[in-house]
């Protein structure tokens, strides 16, 4: 049996402003109504045979409930190894290998790739099982369809069964080199998907990156277990060196094989890659998001991602990317798509919240949307899932007014417990203990008006929380 491990720790800053560190691209429905993570879970589920806890996600602590929500939608029981910090793929894969028996066959997949043909993907993986069981570190490469300068390449060596010995790894090439690679037929795009036994990965790490393995081993000696959540020791893991598995192991090991995949694949790593997934019109224009709000007039080779808030119109443009969201707008020359992450760095230097957080913020109980914000007030639209509840909490610096828009609210307000319906409201003074819950089977929506001298999300003291969050967690 194959045990899929989904690597879910990416921040996706090259797809800003739609993807942000607090809600990165793997959780966003970029293609239709399903997120890339959901599509990945659905793709690997047949390989895992649907057995309990037969899939592992290595994810960031702050994303644990987002991953759990997706697993619930897919109907899977997914174990999560929660990284206290992002330390790149070598450490993430080591944690997963240390959590299973040594002879377990591990399939490592990024959470944010687009591979539309699930059957072809599974057939590719099954075709490499014998090589992996024989001790090979298998990496999968994609047959290139154009001279991409955005992907790393793998040069095929001599044939071994259905695969090839890896002759060498090549970093992102120049356009001329990419043309040369395409013409030769000897190079594959590096898909970042791996198949290997846990014991073989650990042996390779011991040989080529022993310091990474040693830290991960110590961090996993006494992990915290909380249901399907597994937490390595945070203090120990913080000392781990961050490095990709390619640099740490794959470029050095001698037992590396590559298997070819001829299907459609994209790492969805830039807005030009996202645009390529949409059908073009006669002028090469494309659209995503709420496409009914995207309009091109006398434009060519322009991509619009409409955020659903307002019409987005391009007039007489060429080779542009226009990405509209509720609180940020990106207009970029398509030739500079790879540099979007530099925008995020600049915004972080300016301490702009839009670099990290969306206006709409996911929470384990639902989500909230910051509708308006001023010096001494903030207005939020809050949606609580059926049967969910916020923590029992108190604020030192703000009062809150709640108005029910739809659904039924169970409100703890000091010593009172109230049931409020549509158009009913309550007032919560500064310092009063309170809680909002949804006892019904339909979503609850309220408008919350905050007022006070300080309105930060860290002004919260939790007395009881079903999700194990502390007062310092938002």
Across all residues in the chain, what is the average pLDDT?
93
- Kindly report the three-state secondary structure assignment for every residue of the chain: CEEEEEECCCCCHHHCCCCECCECHHHCCCECCECHHHHHHHHHHHHHCCCCCCEEEEEEHHHHHHHHHHHHHHCCCEEEEEECCCCHHHHHHHHHHHCCCCCCEEEEEECCCECCCHHHHHHHHHHCHHHHHCCCEEEEEECCCCCCCCCCEEEEEEEECCEEEEEEEECCCCHHHHHHHHHHCCEEEEEEEEEEEHHHHHHHHHHHCHHHHHHHHHHCCCCEEECCEEECCHHHHCCCCCCCHHHHHHCCCCCEEEEEECCCCECCCCHHHHHHCCCCCCCCCEEEECHHHEEEECCECCEEEECCCCCEEEECCECEEEEECCCCEEEEEHHHHHHHHHHHHHHHHCCCHHHCCCCEEEECCEEEEEEEECCCEEEEEEEECCCCECCEEECCCEEEEEEEEECCEEEEECCEEEEECCCCEEEECCCCCEEEECCCCCCEEEEEEEEECCCCCCCCEEEECCCCCCCCCC
pLDDT at residue 468 greater than cutoff 80: no
Give yes or no for a contact between 340 and 14, defined as CB atoms under 8 angstroms apart.
yes
- pLDDT level of residue 466 (50, 70, 90 thresholds): confident
Cα dist. 149→175, 176, 180, 182, 267 in Å? 6, 9, 12, 11, 13
Contact 112, 36 (CB under 8 A): yes
Average pLDDT over residues 227-245: 95
Least confident stretch, 29-43, 99-113, 193-207, 301-315: 29-43
If DSSP states are collapsed to H, E and C, what string results for 198-259?
HHHHHHHHHHHCHHHHHHHHHHCCCCEEECCEEECCHHHHCCCCCCCHHHHHHCCCCCEEEE
pLDDT in tens, 367-419: 999 988 888 999 999 999 999 999 999 999 999 999 999 999 999 999 999 99
pLDDT class for 471, splitting at 50, 70, 90?
A: low
Q: For residue 272, is pLDDT > 50?
A: yes
Which positions ≥6 away from 59 have C-beta within 8 Å?
8, 9, 67, 80, 81, 82, 83
> What average pLDDT does this structure show over 210-225?
95
CA 199 to chain centroid, in Å, comes to 27
Choose among 318, 316, 339, 96: nearest CA to 219.
Answer: 96
Distance CA 23, CA 364 (A): 13
Residue 253 — pLDDT band, cuts 50, 70, 90? very high
* Position 265 confidence tier, pLDDT thresholds 50, 70, 90: very high
What's the whole-number mean pLDDT along residues 285-299? Answer: 96
pLDDT value of position 179: 94
pLDDT-derived band at 305 (thresholds 50, 70, 90) equals very high
pLDDT, tens digit (0-9, with 9 covering 90-100), for 115-142: 999 999 999 999 999 999 999 999 999 9
What percent of the chain is modeled with pLDDT above 90? 81
What local confidence, expressed as pLDDT, does residue 227 receive? Answer: 86
Looking at residues 65-71, what average pLDDT do you find? 91
The whole-angstrom separation of Cα 444 and Cα 390 is: 12
Q: What pLDDT score does 108 carry? A: 98
C-alpha span between 243 and 230 (Å, rounded):
22
Does the N-terminal peptide bond of residue 110 adopt cis geometry, omega within 30 degrees of 0?
no
Does pLDDT of 472 surpass 50?
A: no
Q: What is the pLDDT of residues 85-97, one digit of tens each?
A: 999 999 999 999 9
Tell me, what's the pLDDT at 30? 83
Instruction: Work out the percent of the chain whose per-residue pLDDT is above 70.
Output: 98
Average pLDDT, integer, range 326-332: 95
Domains with residue ranges and CATH for the chain: 2-261 (3.90.550.10), 282-339 (no CATH), 360-464 (2.60.120.10)
User: What integer pLDDT is reported at residue 474 of this predicted model?
Assistant: 46
């Amino acid at each position: 049996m194959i045990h899929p491990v989904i690597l879910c720790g990416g921040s996706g800053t090259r797809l800003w402003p739609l993807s942000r560190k607090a809600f990165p691209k793997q959780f966003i429905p970029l293609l239709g109504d399903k997120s890339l993570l959901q599509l990945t879970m659905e793709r690997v589920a047949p390989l895992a045979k649907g057995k309990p806890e037969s899939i592992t996600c290595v994810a960031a602590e702050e994303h644990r409930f987002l991953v759990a929500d997706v697993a619930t939608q897919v109907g899977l029981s997914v174990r999560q190894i929660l990284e206290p910090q992002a330390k790149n793929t070598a450490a993430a894969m080591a944690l997963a290998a240390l959590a299973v028996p040594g002879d377990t066959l591990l399939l490592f997949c990024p959470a944010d790739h687009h591979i539309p043909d699930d059957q072809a993907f599974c057939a590719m993986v099954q075709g490499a099982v014998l090589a992996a069981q024989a001790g090979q570190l298998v990496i999968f490469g994609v047959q290139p369809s154009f001279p991409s300068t955005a992907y790393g390449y793998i040069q095929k060596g001599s044939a071994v069964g259905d695969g090839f010995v890896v002759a060498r790894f090549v970093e992102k090439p120049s356009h001329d080199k990419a043309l040369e690679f395409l013409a030769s037929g000897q190079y594959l795009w590096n898909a970042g998907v791996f198949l290997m036994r846990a014991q073989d990965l650990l042996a390779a790490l011991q040989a080529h990156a022993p310091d990474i393995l040693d830290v991960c081993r110590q961090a996993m000696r006494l992990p915290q277990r909380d249901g399907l959540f597994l937490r390595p020791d945070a203090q120990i893991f913080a000392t781990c060196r961050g490095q990709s598995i390619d640099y740490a192991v794959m470029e050095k090991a001698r037992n590396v094989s590559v298997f070819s995949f001829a299907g459609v694949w994209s790492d969805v790593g830039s807005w030009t890659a996202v645009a390529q997934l949409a059908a073009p019109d006669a002028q090469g224009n494309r659209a995503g998001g709420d496409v009914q709000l995207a309009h091109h007039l006398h434009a060519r080779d322009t991509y619009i991602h409409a955020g659903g808030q307002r019409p987005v119109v391009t007039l007489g443009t060429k080779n542009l990317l226009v990405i509209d969201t509720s609180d940020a707008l990106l207009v970029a020359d398509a030739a500079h798509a790879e540099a979007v992450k530099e925008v995020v760095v600049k915004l972080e230097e300016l301490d702009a919240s839009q670099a990290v957080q969306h206006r709409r913020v996911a929470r384990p109980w639902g989500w909230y949307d910051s509708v308006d914000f001023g010096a001494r007030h903030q207005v939020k639209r809050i949606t609580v899932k059926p049967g969910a509840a916020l923590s029992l909490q108190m604020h030192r610096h703000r009062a809150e007014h709640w108005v029910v828009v739809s659904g039924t609210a169970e409100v703890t307000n000091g010593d009172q417990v109230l049931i409020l319906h549509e158009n009913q409201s309550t007032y919560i003074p500064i310092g009063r203990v309170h809680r909002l819950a949804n006892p019904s089977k339909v979503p609850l929506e309220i408008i919350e008006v905050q007022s006070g001298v300080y309105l930060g999300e860290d002004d919260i003291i939790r007395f009881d929380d079903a999700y194990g969050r502390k007062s310092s967690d938002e």
